Structure formats: structure tokens, C-alpha cells
Amino acid sequence: MIEKDGIQAPPEIHRSKARPFQFTEGLNPGEVIQVTGFLDRLTSFMPPEDYTIVGSLALRHHLGTRRQTLQRPFRDADVVVDDPMAVSPLVMAGFLVMHVHPLDADTHGHSGIFLKLVDPTTKVKLDILPQHAKTETTTVGFKEKPVKISTLEDQLATTINEVQGASEERRIAHKLPEKIRMLFPLANREVLENLWEQKFGETTGLSLTEALTIGREQAEKNPEYFCRSPFRGQQITDCERCISLPALPIASREQVLSALQ
């Protein structure tokens, strides 16, 4: 065991120089089946160079290579894209559009379009997010295809920024403070410090240590800022925040319920 910042972290699985990590490396057998099924669908209909996998799906890979697992079922995935229309092939392939939301900078910290799709084949819900700050990526393999995922340090820095910026107007998911506690012992501190300065230091005016302190105080003093989900209470599909885009027709409630069964 490796001790880091007073917390013991398990050793990483070492990658061969001749072969990059495979996406499912280190995952438990049940996760391998689920993740492989979803990635088969995603990479078959949407070129991997058009997106970066972030969120819990990328996190499963990072934890797996460190001999850890994410203790919740695989039901959701997240990717960031430069162009939301890049998801059109998924829609053509049978993915259903649940939501199309415009994002405003005041509420979400960045602007663009948020999309939520569901794959009827794997029952996985896919969030498509706009690229709003350069995501630091690493490339892993999936069935001979190179797939971009956010680095562990990028995920951690982004989460720290979200937590320190939580407010009455900008509520965030309740799991994010715990995500920081889980990832911090596993991160390369020097890489994390540099990444924080590059991405968030100037815009927030905070050092990494200051942001961590503010975030911890926010979680302790204002738990109401951390709701179950920032989209809690939304309709299954076509809610009042949805906009109409001809290329991305929103599925009916009945279609989505049928797909998720």
C-alpha cells in the first residue's frame, strides 16, 4: 500500500510500454460486460475522436487500474463534445433523445447545449455536455480503437471547482464532495496543482488549497446546495426547459419508459 497525504492508496496496475491500458482493464466481470456492451454501441456509431468520455465511466477505468471499484451500478455515462450535432449518428442508430437543454453561464458556469440520450439496447443513459474548458485527456484502448477519457486529475480539479462554486442558484449533485474525498489520495498532487492553476486559478482567483477549503465548508454549512441531482424533478422527456432541434427529435415518454424497461 502507498501512503499519500496520510491516506493509504492501493498500488496501480502498471501498464506495458508496448500496450496501452485497455478501457475495461481492472473492472470486475459484471462491469466488463456492461461497459463493453455500451462502448460497442457508442464507438460503432460515433467516431471516438468526436468526444471525450468523462464522469463515472472514465472514473470506473481510473479506479479499476488502481484496484478499486465504483460502488454503484453502471447506468449512466457522460461525454463532452465540441459540437452537439456530433451525436446525430447515435440518434440515427436508435438512441432516444430525452432532453435538449440550453445552458446559461449564470446558472451552469458555461453555455451551450446539454443533451440526454438513452440507448434502448444497453439501457444506459448518456449525457452529452459541451466542452467549456480544455479537458486533459489520456488515451486508452477499446477493441483496437483509441478512446479519449479525462484524466483522474482533470476529473478531480473540475469537481473541486464545481463544489467550491456551489450556491443557492447553482446547486450540484450531492455525490461530488464524496468524489473529491475518494480521488484526492489517488491523484498526482503536482499534476493536480498545475492543472488547477491552468484551468481555474485565474477565473476563480483561488489556489487549490483555498478551493478545497471553501468546498469543504460549503458542504458542511450549506448541504442544501448539494441535491440528489441538478436535474432532479425533471420530466422523463420533453420538459419545459427542452428546446426543439429538428436533427434531434425528442422521444415520447412512452418510448423512453419502454426503452428503460
16 pLDDT higher than 70: no
Residues 19 and 55 in one domain: yes
Judge contact between 132 and 112, C-beta under 8 A: yes
The arithmetic mean of pLDDT across residues 224-250, rounded, is 75
Q: Could you tell me which residues come within 8 angstroms of residue 77 by beta carbon, excluding any fewer than 6 positions away? A: 38, 42, 53, 55, 56, 57, 124, 125, 126, 127
Whole-angstrom distance, CA of residue 213 vs CA of residue 220: 11
18 pLDDT higher than 80: no
What is the domain extent for residue 181? 152-230
Q: How many domains does the chain have?
A: 2
pLDDT at 204: 95
Asked, for residue 156, whether it belongs to a domain, the answer is yes
From the list 127, 212, 130, 197, the residue with the least C-alpha distance to 163 is 212
Residues 140 and 204 in one domain: no
Q: What is the SS3 assignment for 72? A: coil
Asked, for residue 128, whether it belongs to a domain, the answer is yes
Whole-angstrom distance, CA of residue 138 vs CA of residue 147: 8
Residues 87 and 182 in one domain: no
Asked, for residue 5, whether it belongs to a domain, the answer is no
pLDDT at 170: 86
HSE at residue 199, side-chain half, CA atoms within 13 A, is 24
131 confidence band (pLDDT: 50, 70, 90): confident
105 pLDDT higher than 60: no
C-alpha 256 chain-centroid distance: 22
Over the range 134-145, which residues count as b (16 or more CB within 10 Å of their CB) and which as e?
ebbbbebebeee
Q: What is the pLDDT of residues 206-229, one digit of tens each?
A: 999 999 999 999 999 999 999 866
The DSSP element (H or E) to which 141 belongs, if any, is strand 137-142
Judge contact between 145 and 40, C-beta under 8 A: no
Whole-angstrom distance, CA of residue 70 vs CA of residue 186: 14
Averaged pLDDT of the chain = 85
7 pLDDT higher than 90: no
Residues 104 and 75 in one domain: yes
2 confidence band (pLDDT: 50, 70, 90): very low
Whole-angstrom distance, CA of residue 105 vs CA of residue 72: 31
From the list 166, 159, 165, 85, the residue with the least C-alpha distance to 128 is 85
239 pLDDT higher than 60: yes
Whole-angstrom distance, CA of residue 256 vs CA of residue 119: 9
The length of the chain, given as a count of residues: 261
Residues 83 and 180 in one domain: no
67 confidence band (pLDDT: 50, 70, 90): confident
180 pLDDT higher than 80: yes
129 strand-pairing partners: 80
19 pLDDT higher than 50: yes
Q: Helices marked H in the chain — which ranges?
A: 29-45, 55-64, 88-92, 105-108, 152-164, 176-183, 189-196, 202-204, 208-221, 253-260
Whole-angstrom distance, CA of residue 60 vs CA of residue 78: 12
Residues 119 and 161 in one domain: no
Judge contact between 62 and 188, C-beta under 8 A: no
182 pLDDT higher than 70: yes
Residues 111 and 216 in one domain: no
Residues 97 and 146 in one domain: yes
pLDDT at 227: 82
pTM (2 d.p.): 0.85
